[in-house]
Structure 1
């Protein structure tokens, strides 16, 4: 469980000017095993929020609790240990180009404290299991440049799972992918959530991504939560002007297609395990 209480995040202003607040009084609870979406336009503050959850950014004020433990001020080795339980995937994949796919996945296992480090054989066994889980068995000796965008994101997901995290933060994980590949990655994330029980926090600007996979959604605008609740309820009965406008614009662009752009993709219901990995 992730609990955020009255979180504020500010950055110093340039040349001694007043500080700039990018997150204001954020409070929410993300339940264990849930798929939670943080939805917002570019610059809304959603990526800053996920960096605060992983303590890549210190909180200016407020509290962060993980599984009931206050980790707001955790630093040093204790912070490094905490982060082994939090996987992270990014829009740009962030793979090591000079390392093979297998070596990319084993990397998190190589940098844990020596007393906790698995043997090389055990690390490679874990990596092969994860590559099989994400549909890339047989790709171990390839390099990132030899893979498509969707395949690279699958490697990034496998790497994020290397240390058996209980939480995975996904920062615009499908933004660089085409529609078909996005659906496949969402299906994979759904599988990981259900089979491994990993709590997923998805940062996205996409209405369809949020509606396709998230149990609950928080809508952020101007660094504040303006909507928070069950996904279908929010989309069927939006209360904020920003979400109503986004849904209306999405439906306008989808006019004539016979489906709402804000609704779950029809492709998701027809996706099968036999489809080619993109």
Structure 2
């Protein structure tokens, strides 16, 4: 699953970068989402595979903090990118004639950069809050990786302020992103309902189907983690929900965005042909 995730998302990035027809805002956000997914899963799976191979479940305090930091960084970056993609679809469907005027390359670059900066600050703040509390030695984390809320629960010192800050910031950023996505899709649905032809409605909705599927799967699994984490006896359910958003969703993203996307399929075919040509030329050179 990890190899499929890495190579699938890497193919999306290579296809978008190699085909000039895909140098549009939607695919620019998609390639950044693929990059974030690769980094997100790479903070979890390699350590998990190493633990399975060595039959050891030990992780150092420093390693846990580092893993938590990068999980929060790329997880938040994922959320912000999905929000940007919802806004992109809103402009494309509700304001098609002004799409290229509104979604300029400069604006897209600023949106991605600002998303990364906000993710960096969010991750840094959460990690610093966890570092402030003290832990007893050799604590058992009932999870497959280090999550901020679980780390706080294992602390030996008072965590009331830390809990309040962590949950408040998470609710503001997560709720704000989800609210922006829901608002964008409410406008999109209203615009689609205003289209007279059934073919036009289907074409407009099909451009949002992949993004809507990814958002639904990601949001439901993340909400499942935070709802089940409130119950101390539901660690198994929390782990399953975490696997869904940290492993399954990044793996399915390339399939969701490519199986029904003619542009991506065409770009992948062109990229495959160019790669085969380069390998053939290299083989001929080596023969001479």
Greater RCO (CA < 8 Å, at least 6 residues apart):
2
- TM interval, shorter chain, is under 0.3
TM-score normalized by the length of structure 1? 0.26
Q: Which protein has the bigger helix share?
A: 2
